[in-house]
Structure 1
């Protein structure tokens, strides 16, 4: 029987074959990209704090990018820094059609060296219209080098609304990127410190509401009465897992999670972890409601944000304003206007439904189950390990995809070895998968070697997975199948692995998150915690989908410029790059 999943597998095999037969197209100096991003490092001021930061087009966050699903777009990224490498990752987008454009330096791409540029080819799928963001994937740069990425619907969106706003959440650290990274990887270990603030669209007042000598203010979100708005929330924080809600506006309906439309789900508040995105529909106040509130002295409303699962919670704000009312973006309320719950374990699990059928694989279709056991290893240094191994920038000096194109087949993970070791080939520390497989991936939280526990927003590059829930203890297949009965899991790319205690016995199972994944796209993909500190400390895994013939879909001579640091695919002021068009090959 021909199914949607078999169509995806067929396309994954046929597209590279068609490209291999077609003459490849390269562009020259006459080519004009659709978008240009210039990345620099300088002192900037956000939230009344001045910090030396990596920024995009001079600001943090960088400019909002809007692309159209089903259309190829080119984004030229200049590294205008003199002493730092750079990549740009398009968080949530599948790079199956352009394997060197994922922006992961340990997976698929050499970094862009100082004073060089790289042309990224993006071809978002029509069905992936939604909310994403872009960020550097080097060290701690993503704390500031990031910005919103919106994939617009090709036709009319499935929900009607009168306008939209983007809420872009970022952390603010006093230590610089270099200081943070050096401390996390040094002996003895030095923690980065906690976030000083959670910024909204680059704005914020110091926690406590006292402005300093540097000009700063709360973000203002302007609404018109009697309207319906789409509010896009982007969790671009480095560390902070937050709860948030609106004063006087609790009629929210979730309509999108991680670039996938959902059936409307009413909620009073949101939980957003690093890497997660949600769209909600918000109905603004009616004119009569505004009149009643103004008679009581209420002229503006607050978006209240509180961090969760950290040693100390901080509270920050943004302001909702309406025409005709006064607004004050220089102070915070004396007492919190919104009561937000503490961390709700399993929030939205088994509740979200896809807007359209999404070919969710049943348990009988699962060909293999892989468990990723995560643990913090505490000694003079502190690292994170998956199945006993860390993956840091020092472990693998070459991008994995480059190694495979350079015929370093010793680096190709052994499928047989992986099967014998629970899914990971210990020699290469990589997880292989064959095209056509349906994997069930279980991420198991365990007590650190000193018994501590933490939460982890796990993000998968490449194709979206079906999120099948979470729970305490050890994953139990039959028990989770009971929970899944009558549900329709949605596809996500970032979901939370919760902790269910503060401490436990070292190595004890204390929480799990489970996914199902159809292996349809050959390539090298990363799965990692999206807390930047944890990622730097080794909380990353590499997945190699497809055999070497599937992965090396392009002739070697056509990709040579991508296979060395500073190769011919990377341009500079004195050299034009040789850039291959993978998708539009004519």
Structure 2
């Protein structure tokens, strides 16, 4: 039998044995206390939390009915890392590929996973919600043997946790009273949605540990006492094994590692999770920066003690080689270069920018504009000036160059693709000026670049990402620190719009249209909801106006505190002016170091001289 016939047979068998998974979930508030320090409301499914781990096999179909059980807010769902080939409308981000799901409404997420396996996760793509607990792991089993051996599998999620809800934190964050854009400081960090977690292990066992950072903000250092990680997967990509004692994992990243346990069961060991403190503006004394979890060989052993290291010497994922031996893609047909900056606009709020544009939602989801714009869909104008949309040609090789003028780290995620990380610059000195990418003067690109869907950008440095535009759809590219996304650090890639329009599976489902109607969002038109002239974007949503020239964040701080001082001063005057305080004159004179008796004597003398004294002549 020919090889081609054998492959066709295997493909037919895979389709024959593929399954359809149907889930019904309703969002709602659930009371929980994951860190054992503070009970609060979190977002659950069907009245329970944490959310369920979802598991399918490559080739399977998903039918997930998400009902919005809230009464006062919209919701959505994104399957992080899934390509959504031919099903861009199921990708999830509000006003990018779908309308928000209104309270009481239901959206059917229907898609087939054709050629992906590994560790993924799912989460709300509505502001503030996945930080409230609306997130969990999504595992895709391979139909083929894995390129490594193991005995048992364990899923581990890490994240930070806040005791205040997003309803409290977000108005404080995006506020004139926070002009520097300092992110809210977490209350704690979680390990499998708990605190001081204990992982029960067996001796002489190889565990396949799937690690997912489901947090909204901080990166974490993970390290174990007297055990090593053998990295075999990153973001659903099998890689040549690489052994390390420490992993640095940003929000949204995933690592698949093998952990080999010991023969001796007489001792338990520490499994540490440490916050990247460089990401925090302040460090409150109440925040534990390194949490101690337990690798438990026996419950009879002594409790583990905190295990710390002198140096955070972690694996540099840049040098991981894909198991597929995928070589460096050809030179780019198209290059997108963006500069990251954080700055204030005229309302005093600190925003995030790509090339001075802070992402502002259109009035019509961008995918819907593609589907309704006809020939105009190839013109980026129809998507609006503040969505920062780029139109890509099918099968183009695309470079995304991100220059960081900010002093903070940023984990960037691309929907619909994995990319090759072909350069990531690291500054030698923290005091150096920002270094930008020079296309004619850079380090040699690797022959087999690391590939993943989320990668961190160093402060005041740059990254160069390369991918093939071989997946027609509308794809978000954004910082996965949720605070920064809410500040507008995002852009949109409109990939092969003519192929989106011609593909039957890309057309909006009736359920999708009904959801738009029920939430009051147009499902046709350009960024301004104009259906008559798609090149006329009058009335589009735009960002707040710029500050007057020369006005800086420092100036806003001075203005805010000057205003507060003035208000306090007026309150003080009002208080003393309206209060009947005994001996008020003596008190004020004493505070001002004035000799009141001398002043009274002068007043009497002045009255006598003026002839205005009431004394008898």
Task: Show CA shifts across 1:556-585 (max 9, x none).
Answer: 986454246444999xxxxxxxxxxxxxxx
Question: 1:383 maps to which residue?
Answer: 351
Match of 1:456 among 379, 387, 410: 410
Asked if 1:475 corresponds to 2:450, the answer is no
Match of 1:440 among 399, 411, 432: 399
Q: CA deviation at 1:357?
A: 2.6
Give the distance between the partners of 1:556 and 1:367, measured in 2 at CA.
26
Give the distance between the partners of 2:229 and 2:170, measured in 1 at CA.
38
Question: 1:582 maps to which residue?
Answer: none
Match of 1:399 among 365, 369, 373: 365
In structure 2, the CA distance between the partners of 1:150 and 1:556, relative to structure 1 (3 Å rule), is closer
Asked if 1:198 corresponds to 2:189, the answer is yes
Q: Highest Rg: 1 or 2? A: 2
In structure 2, the CA distance between the partners of 1:54 and 1:496, relative to structure 1 (3 Å rule), is same
Root mean square deviation of aligned Cα: 2.8
Question: 1:535 maps to which residue?
Answer: 485
Give the distance between the partners of 2:169 and 2:34, measured in 1 at CA.
18
Q: Are 1:369 and 1:441, in contact at CA under 8 Å, matched by a contact in 2?
A: yes
Q: Are 1:227 and 1:284, in contact at CA under 8 Å, matched by a contact in 2?
A: yes
In the alignment, structure 1 segments of 5+ residues that lack a partner are 1-31, 205-217, 419-423, 448-452, 500-509, 571-586
Give the distance between the partners of 1:281 and 1:260, measured in 2 at CA.
15
Give the distance between the partners of 1:86 and 1:156, measured in 2 at CA.
38
Q: Are 2:414 and 2:478, in contact at CA under 8 Å, matched by a contact in 1?
A: yes
| Structure number with higher helix proportion | 2
SS in 2 for 1:46: coil
Match of 1:284 among 250, 256, 261: 261
Match of 1:252 among 217, 226, 229: 229
Q: CA deviation at 1:413?
A: 6.2
Question: 1:321 maps to which residue?
Answer: 296
In the alignment, structure 2 segments of 5+ residues that lack a partner are 1-19, 428-434, 521-617
In structure 2, the CA distance between the partners of 1:117 and 1:307, relative to structure 1 (3 Å rule), is same
Give the distance between the partners of 1:444 and 1:425, measured in 2 at CA.
23
Q: Are 1:118 and 1:569, in contact at CA under 8 Å, matched by a contact in 2?
A: no
Question: 1:156 maps to which residue?
Answer: 145
Match of 2:58 among 69, 74, 80: 69
Asked if 1:302 corresponds to 2:270, the answer is yes
Alignment of 1:34-433 (within 5 A): 34-47=22-35, 48-126=37-115, 128-143=116-131, 144-189=133-178, 193-204=184-195, 218-249=196-227, 251-287=228-264, 290=265, 294=266, 299-308=267-276, 309=278, 310-311=280-281, 312=283, 314-323=289-298, 325-326=300-301, 333=305, 336-339=306-309, 341-342=311-312, 347-349=316-318, 351-362=319-330, 365-378=331-344, 380-392=348-360, 395-407=361-373, 412=377, 414=379, 426=385, 429-433=388-392
Q: CA deviation at 1:219?
A: 1.7
Asked if 1:494 corresponds to 2:454, the answer is yes
Task: Show CA shifts across 1:378-427 (max 9, x none).
Answer: 351100011110114xx3233111222233876x4636x89xxxxx9847
Q: Are 1:38 and 1:56, in contact at CA under 8 Å, matched by a contact in 2?
A: yes
Q: Are 2:359 and 2:491, in contact at CA under 8 Å, matched by a contact in 1?
A: yes
Give the distance between the partners of 2:353 and 2:508, measured in 1 at CA.
37
Q: Are 1:436 and 1:520, in contact at CA under 8 Å, matched by a contact in 2?
A: yes
Q: CA deviation at 1:57?
A: 4.1
Deviates more, 1:39-48 or 1:143-152: 39-48
Q: CA deviation at 1:78?
A: 2.1
In structure 2, the CA distance between the partners of 1:194 and 1:551, relative to structure 1 (3 Å rule), is farther
Alignment of 1:540-559 (within 5 A): 540-551=490-501, 553-554=503-504, 559=509
Q: CA deviation at 1:549?
A: 4.6
Question: 1:8 maps to which residue?
Answer: none
Asked if 1:513 corresponds to 2:513, the answer is no
Task: Show CA shifts across 1:251-297 (max 9, x none).
Answer: 3210000000000011110000011100111110113xx3xxx3xxx
Give the distance between the partners of 2:302 and 2:135, measured in 1 at CA.
29
Give the distance between the partners of 2:313 and 2:370, measured in 1 at CA.
43
In structure 2, the CA distance between the partners of 1:479 and 1:262, relative to structure 1 (3 Å rule), is farther
Q: Give the structure, 1 or 2, with the largest relative contact order (CA under 8 Å, sep 6 or more).
A: 1
Q: Are 2:21 and 2:61, in contact at CA under 8 Å, matched by a contact in 1?
A: no
Q: CA deviation at 1:177?
A: 1.6
In structure 2, the CA distance between the partners of 1:537 and 1:123, relative to structure 1 (3 Å rule), is same
Q: CA deviation at 1:97?
A: 2.4
In structure 2, the CA distance between the partners of 1:286 and 1:106, relative to structure 1 (3 Å rule), is same
Q: Are 1:173 and 1:195, in contact at CA under 8 Å, matched by a contact in 2?
A: yes
Give the distance between the partners of 2:213 and 2:200, measured in 1 at CA.
21
Give the distance between the partners of 1:438 and 1:148, measured in 2 at CA.
31
How many residues get paired? Answer: 481
Q: Are 1:246 and 1:338, in contact at CA under 8 Å, matched by a contact in 2?
A: no
Q: Are 2:30 and 2:49, in contact at CA under 8 Å, matched by a contact in 1?
A: no
Q: Are 1:77 and 1:120, in contact at CA under 8 Å, matched by a contact in 2?
A: yes
Give the distance between the partners of 1:256 and 1:73, measured in 2 at CA.
24
Normalising by structure 1, what TM-score?
Answer: 0.76
Give the distance between the partners of 1:522 and 1:161, measured in 2 at CA.
37
Q: Are 1:545 and 1:551, in contact at CA under 8 Å, matched by a contact in 2?
A: no
Task: Show CA shifts across 1:221-265 (max 9, x none).
Answer: 11110111111110111111111101121x321000000000001
Q: CA deviation at 1:530?
A: 0.4
